[in-house]
Homo-oligomer: A and B are copies of this chain.
Amino acid sequence: MLSLINSYQDGYSLAQNFYKNEEIYRKEIENIFLKNWVFAGHISQIPAHGDFFLYEFDEESVIVVRSKTGEINAFMNVCRHRGSHICLEKKGNAKSLVCPYHAWSYNLEGELVAARNMEDDFDKSTNGLHRVHLELLGGLIFISLAETPLSLQSMRSELNDTFDLFGLERTKLAKQISYPIRANWKLAVENYLECYHCTPAHREYSAIHTLALPPAKFEQHLADYQARMTNAIRTTPCNQYYDLANEGEEGFQYSRDPLLPGMKSGTLNGEPASRLLGDITGYDGGCSDLMLGPVSFFLIYDDHMVGYRFLPLTVDTCVCDVYWFVHESAEEGKDFDLSALTWLWDVTTQADETIITNNQKGVNSHFYRPGKLSEMEDTQQCFLDWYIKVLQQ
């Protein structure tokens, strides 16, 4: 593994084995997915006591559940008796968490409250479910499986105002689609991190967003946008992501990028998608790009938010989970049309699935060599630099 890591050259794509080797993959699970903060879902998905959903990747399954006091808790979906999954459905409602195998029962705080026919010296108090760290950021639920998780302090202080302005706590999930991809998860993340491919691969996106443009043209649009911006939306970017994060802190990034002239939202022809979010009072022609932790991304339009999350399933398969959020009071059929709302990022993700799969196929060739990255792949380069560092921890 060391010689592979030493083969890495800044400014070039990764060598083949990073995308194929099982040992590398196990190290990634350990050093990234069992450690960093990952978006699990939104509070609107579990409004009532006992409501739960599962957050799952690789061999892991986490129960995210609202307790009787209204708190949100997260526990490993692993019975302390013989290890069975406890919740078998992806979401639901449960008064308590009862293992379907031998009926060991845990309350919504994860405490073991009943275990039949155990010897007298059996200590229930040390056999509760394994609780994992959970934080709320504007209603977005983040989970870390680390013993001591990275700090979210900078992220909160930089972005809380933005979460508030867009009223993220007062959104609701309108639609969620999972896109399985036959490729290593890094190829999917790298794809998300660069817009070098947008012009050739995403006609629909490129007709709305300026980020697909060459850097010089994009900068011109950005300058124009910032000059005319008068409302309260933050335009100053912050780039504490990947290798730019502070020591001991989770990485994050924020920018407000202009749409093409006349575009209001991330839809066909840039038409409005739904009710304006939070305290937004009108369309400003911009869209916020948010990265919260290494594999969770959000696009905040004035009238809806799209969430993106990339999770590994095996060394050569992953899943891209896409979430569409609207104002909590928006009604389908009246305030928004679901197919119009989801059209842009559904068609874009489908195209990406093809791209990423064919990228993996070529990378698998004996003849693949790391290639030179372009200036439009600079965020991807940050990711790769960080990744190489993290692999060695």
Contact = CB atoms under 8 A, between A and B. Distances in A.
A183 to B, nearest CB: 11
B200 A61 contact: no
User: So how many copies of this chain end up in the complex?
Assistant: 3
Contact of A81 (B101, B102, B145, B372): B372
B100 A374 contact: no
Interface stretch (A116-124, A133-141, A151-159, A332-340): A116-124
Nearest to A103: B200
Given A118-B375, A362-B78, A376-B117, A368 B83 contact: yes
Interface residues of A, number: 59
Contact of A60 (B60, B82, B101, B365): B365
Given A102-B196, A364-B59, A366-B34, A359 B119 contact: no
Contacts of A214: 116-117
Contacts of A85: 358-359, 361-362
A85 B79 CA distance: 44
Given A80-B371, A358-B85, A366 B197 contact: no
Interface of A is mostly: loop
A131 to B, nearest CB: 11
A117 B215 contact: yes
A101 B200 contact: yes
A67 to B, nearest CB: 20
Nearest to A351: B100
Interface string A81-110: 111111010000000001011110000000
B103 A371 contact: no
A199 interface: yes
A199 B103 CA distance: 9
B371 A81 contact: yes
Contacts of A365: 59-61, 76-78, 83
A77 B372 CA distance: 17
A284 B20 CA distance: 55
A238 interface: no
A13 interface: yes
Interface string A150-181: 00000000000000000000000000000000
A2 to B, nearest CB: 21
Interface in A21-48: 29, 34
Q: Which 3 A-B pairs have the closest CB atoms?
A: A103-B200, A59-B364, A83-B362
30 contacts: A34-B366, A59-B364, A60-B367, A61-B362, A76-B367, A77-B365, A78-B365, A78-B368, A79-B362, A80-B371, A81-B373, A82-B190, A82-B371, A83-B362, A83-B368, A84-B358, A100-B354, A101-B359, A102-B201, A102-B374, A103-B200, A116-B214, A116-B374, A117-B214, A117-B375, A119-B374, A122-B372, A130-B367, A145-B366, A145-B367
